[in-house]
Amino acid sequence: MAKDKSFSEYQSEAHLWITLSTGDYYPDILPLACELYRPVLITFGQLLKSAHSSTDLFLDIAEIKPQWMRIQLCRIFRKYVSPETSVEMLKKKSAAPHICERFGKNFRQITEVQRRFETRPIPDEPLCAILWEYKDRGKKGYDLTERLFTIIREKFPDLRIVGPERAGKDVILGELFSDYPKPNRPVDFVLFHGDVPVAVGLARYDSDRGGAQEDDRTGQYHNCANEVLEYTRKKGLNLKVIFLNDGPGLLLGSMWRDYAYIEDSWPGLVKVVTLRMVKERISLDWLLA
């Protein structure tokens, strides 16, 4: 039987094995972006005009419904008032008073914000373009997992795949294994043969990656594989680990080599694949071996 190719052996033709998701052209997006975000800018301007302080402005934003509008307003607030705070932090409605207490002293003065805002047109094309960049954030990752689920169901009719097909709650290993040492460990999918789990996996689409982000990602993967496989060794379980990664970010820096190192660290137990490799590299024999 021919030896299976390792992930590292694909590197010479890596560009042929990644999936490139389509994107939007600039400035083609501007008409749609301006139409979508004009109401957000108008609302921000109205709240800004009546606010007595920047903390008042933020507390008013926290009360806005629906959620989509509130999150867009938080993004504009961050740009104008508090670039050091993250949108993930700002969009938590219940945390608004705490954020004002902790970070409010560094908010830009409301009079300066009002002056700056009034110098910009409505709609503000550059700001609308920035907001547009957030619109489909995460979509490429959702597309990736959805296509994986389709491939697994077509290739392995005897397997069951569980997890969020697009957006949704991760599979928590503490809910899968009652005595798992890190019960809140999330994974993106689990493969079952009958009622027996045979593989757990993470899926990520990297449009761009490098430097500290690259080290962080591969470090997380190494820790996850080590944790899962140490648990299965102690319990005598047959469980493989699959890291589905795709996108042009794989071609940057040492990413491909770093993933290959992770796979080679646990021969036969871990596989790193792109979407195009799944049919070739993931087999029932390997999963059940």
Question: What confidence tier does 147 reach under pLDDT thresholds 50, 70, 90?
Answer: very high
Q: What is the per-residue pLDDT for 140? A: 80
Q: How far is CA 275 from the centre of its chain?
A: 17
pLDDT, mean of residues 93-117 = 96
Residue 157 has pLDDT above 60, yes or no: yes
Residue 212 has pLDDT above 60, yes or no: no
CATH code of the region 138-288: 3.40.91
For the stretch 2-28, pLDDT in tens is: 468 999 999 999 999 998 877 789 999
Residue 258 has pLDDT above 80, yes or no: yes
Q: What is the per-residue pLDDT for 171? A: 96
Specify whether the CB–CB gap between 262 and 224 falls below 8 A.
Answer: no
pLDDT, mean of residues 188-194 = 97
pLDDT, mean of residues 264-287 = 96
11, burial (CB in 10 Å: exposed 0-12, middle 13-18, buried 19+): middle
Residue 132 has pLDDT above 60, yes or no: yes
Q: What is the per-residue pLDDT for 3? A: 66
Q: What is the per-residue pLDDT for 136? A: 74
Query: For the chain, what is the mean pLDDT?
Result: 92
Question: What confidence tier does 151 reach under pLDDT thresholds 50, 70, 90?
Answer: very high
Q: What is the per-residue pLDDT for 207? A: 78
Q: What is the per-residue pLDDT for 209? A: 58
Question: What confidence tier does 1 reach under pLDDT thresholds 50, 70, 90?
Answer: very low
For the stretch 43-58, pLDDT in tens is: 999 999 999 999 999 9
Instruction: Report how far apart, in Å, the C-alpha atoms of 47 and of each of 22, 58, 117, 122, 275 are.
Output: 37, 9, 12, 15, 46
Whole-angstrom distance, CA of residue 130 vs CA of residue 152: 36
Question: What confidence tier does 135 reach under pLDDT thresholds 50, 70, 90?
Answer: confident
Q: What is the per-residue pLDDT for 125? A: 97
Residue 67 has pLDDT above 70, yes or no: yes
Q: For CATH 3.40.91, list the domain ranges present in the chain.
A: 138-288
pLDDT, mean of residues 172-180 = 96
pLDDT, mean of residues 221-250 = 95
Amino acid at 69: M
